[in-house]
Amino acid sequence: MRANTLKTGLFVSLFLLVTTLFAQGSRCADIRPFCAGNEELVFENSNRLNSEVVAGESGPDYGCVEFPRYPSWFYLQIEDSGDLEFLISQSENEDGSGEALDVDFVIWGPFNASEDYCNNELLSEKNHVDCSYSEDAVEVAAINNAKKGEVYVFLLTNYSELPGFINLKQTNNGSNAGSTNCAILNGILGADKVVCGENETILNAEEQGAISYQWFVFDENNDDFVQLEAENKAQLKVTVSGTYRVLIQNADGDNTIEDNVEVAFYDRPVIKQPVEAIFVCEQDSLIDLTIKQTELLSLNASPEFYKVEYFETEEGALNNNKIPDPENYSVSRETILARIVNLESGCISDIAAIHLDIRTLPEAPLEENYRICVDAYGLFNDELVLGKDFGKSYEYSWYNGEELISSEYDLYLYEESANPNYTLVLTEKFTGCEVRFSTTVSYVSEPNSVKVDILKGDFENSWTVEINASRNIGHSSEFEYSLDNGAYTSDPVFRNIQRGVHELQIREAGGCGGVVVKEFTVVGYDFFFTPNGDGYNDRWSVTQDADYKVLKIRVFDRNGVFLKNIDPDGEGWDGLMNGKLLPEDDYWFNLEYVNFKTSSRHNFSAHFSLIK
């Protein structure tokens, strides 16, 4: 810890724990440290009477502060991680009384302790933390989720341009509240020094009007400072970590400046190089860069005291433009840069390059769908071979649905499966990258059965024939139809068919299997009759034909009750039953006929209407 005291010219007021400063950095090059602690920082603002710096210097991105009038620059360092909230106010008088004056602010960060905070690339839009450009004299600034050792830069502005005082204090102190590092408050020697990877550093206490310098180092054995007798110049070369003190005597002999500074030498973290590549599977949009963290830190003892930062470019590393979420990095390039930061000192390592080896896996060896012809037993007409040999660097896993069925590069199929979906999982052995290819096997075959429905046609003495060819279960067969050796068609309905014997041919549209031939007979019969004695349609009859001979006709009511036999060669039926006309209704008939072409006997049933 460093304590510094300005023996003359500095007035320290312990009243209300308020520290008053009478100067402030109006340019970033003159930036001053700020420590919140339990105190308030009260300082005279920059205004048109005491400052020639009317506006913020060019270069930094001031965010919402459109015109940064009469700026004051400060920085703070985080001591304890957490959230910080600050109350910023500006008034005419030091005690907060008088006219309230408009104050604005912008905060940048987080930065490492070893970085140049006034670098314009760092004071950029991407590093904005909070900002306000309201007309209020009281503002609230917030830094959320701050981490130990991080540095944040404050710019406070005096929009009113009037003389006054700015009050800055931390207001939150709950369980999740962070705190600031008061050790950075500096005197003539500046802030405590962290020296990274060097063997020496120079302390400069040069003061205008000084006539003598005395240097001391703190001796832990004696618990006191010990004078370095030979050191009496303004500068001191330091090669050992410790707490150093300077006493400066001014010309009048009454003014003595005393200041302490702590110097700590650290080795720079060592990052392992070269780093093994990260294999990136081409179908992965996000990868975890931190899987290399253990390897990167392997040359450092106690890796828990370090963190690894990742960058896309060298410029990004220079400007501390870190990859915000390295555990979910969206791959956009083939090389990523990494460096190690010592959490205690802020010292950083060299930059290491991590190659992202984007693996290009084979293209799909499968078609989207395979149309396979199978026989009545479910066996393929031709064996189906799926897959391709991509070499021994791959593992092959074939699945039928969810069931693993093979680990060979090729899959032989010769019979249909209840699940027609097949998936190949192709895995690159030394990277673990995998890609999936899926296909569906569509089974086709001859019709399972064929039914011919003979319906009343659109015209007298014509019929409509409707073919119902059923598929085998699980098959996607499509059929084509030909009637009496005519052209094949996908339409299963034939119209204006005359009575007689007809031949139907059915085939699978893709040529699977043979042609199914079915013969059927259209028997001519009256669809209705009107037995009212007017001489028109008084009798119902069945028509004989040269292709067939009707042998027997039986008539039933709608309930299937037999009514009577009709002579196929007679005049037909007059609708009478035991001398009485039956009621108006639908009646069914069954007839037996012989096919002259084949000399075979057949039965045919249909219905007709009795209309009064």
More confident residue, 299 or 258: 299
**In the prediction, which pLDDT does 439 show?**
97
Looking only at the bridges linking them, the beta strands covering 5-6 and 40-44 are unpaired
Q: Report residue 114's pLDDT band, with 50, 70 and 90 as the boundaries.
A: low
Q: Chain-wide mean pLDDT for the chain?
A: 89
Say whether domain 5-184 belongs to CATH 2.60.120.380. Answer: yes
Q: Give the architecture (CATH level 2) of 449-522.
A: Sandwich (2.60)
Write down the CATH superfamily of domain 193-266: Immunoglobulins (2.60.40.10)
**In the prediction, which pLDDT does 217 show?**
96
Looking up tokens 């830190």 gives 297
331 burial via Cβ count (<10 Å: 0-12, 13-18, 19+): middle
Lowest mean pLDDT among 40-44, 181-185, 197-201, 297-301: 181-185
Share of the chain above pLDDT 70, in %: 93
How far apart, in whole angstroms, are the C-alpha atoms of residue 606 and residue 255?
131
**In the prediction, which pLDDT does 503 show?**
93
Nearest-Å Rg of the Cα atoms of the chain is 50
Residues 434-492 have pLDDT tens digits of: 999 999 999 999 999 999 988 876 556 788 999 999 999 999 999 999 999 999 999 99
The four Cα atoms 472, 473, 474, 477 give a dihedral, to 10 degrees, of 30
CB atoms within 10 A of CB 26: 19
Q: What is the mean pLDDT of residues 272-290?
A: 88
Domains 193-266 and 278-359 share a fold: yes
**In the prediction, which pLDDT does 21 show?**
36
Read out DSSP for 162-231?
Answer: ---EEEEEE---STTB-EE-GGG--BTTBS-EEEES-S-EEEE---TTEEEEEEEEEETTTTEEEE-TT-
Rounded (to 5) percent helix, strand, coil in the chain: 5, 50, 45
More confident residue, 187 or 69: 69
Q: What is the mean pLDDT of residues 494-520?
A: 92
For residue 51 the two structure tokens come to 């400052």
Contact 347, 266 (CB under 8 A): yes
Residue 12 has pLDDT above 80, yes or no: no
Read out DSSP for 246-284?
Answer: EEEEETTSS-EEEEEEEEEEEPPP---SS-PPEEEETT-
As assigned by CATH, the class of the 278-359 domain is: mainly beta
What is the pTM assigned to this prediction?
Answer: 0.52
Q: How many residues does the chain have?
A: 612
Looking only at the bridges linking them, the beta strands covering 403-406 and 369-373 are unpaired
Amino acid present at 8 = T
Residues 380-433 have pLDDT tens digits of: 999 999 999 999 999 999 999 999 999 999 999 999 999 999 999 999 999 999
**In the prediction, which pLDDT does 254 show?**
54
**In the prediction, which pLDDT does 252 show?**
63
**In the prediction, which pLDDT does 237 show?**
96
For the chain, what are the domain ranges?
A: 5-184, 193-266, 278-359, 369-433, 449-522, 524-610
Residues 521-534 have pLDDT tens digits of: 888 888 899 999 89
CATH of 524-610, one of 3.10.450, 2.60.40, 3.40.1400, 2.40.50: 2.60.40
More confident residue, 22 or 152: 152
Contact 230, 172 (CB under 8 A): no
Q: What is the mean pLDDT of residues 348-364?
A: 92
Q: Report residue 588's pLDDT band, with 50, 70 and 90 as the boundaries.
A: very high
Residue 292 has pLDDT above 60, yes or no: yes
367 burial via Cβ count (<10 Å: 0-12, 13-18, 19+): exposed
How many alpha carbons lie under 13 Å from residue 438 in its C-beta half-sphere? Answer: 7
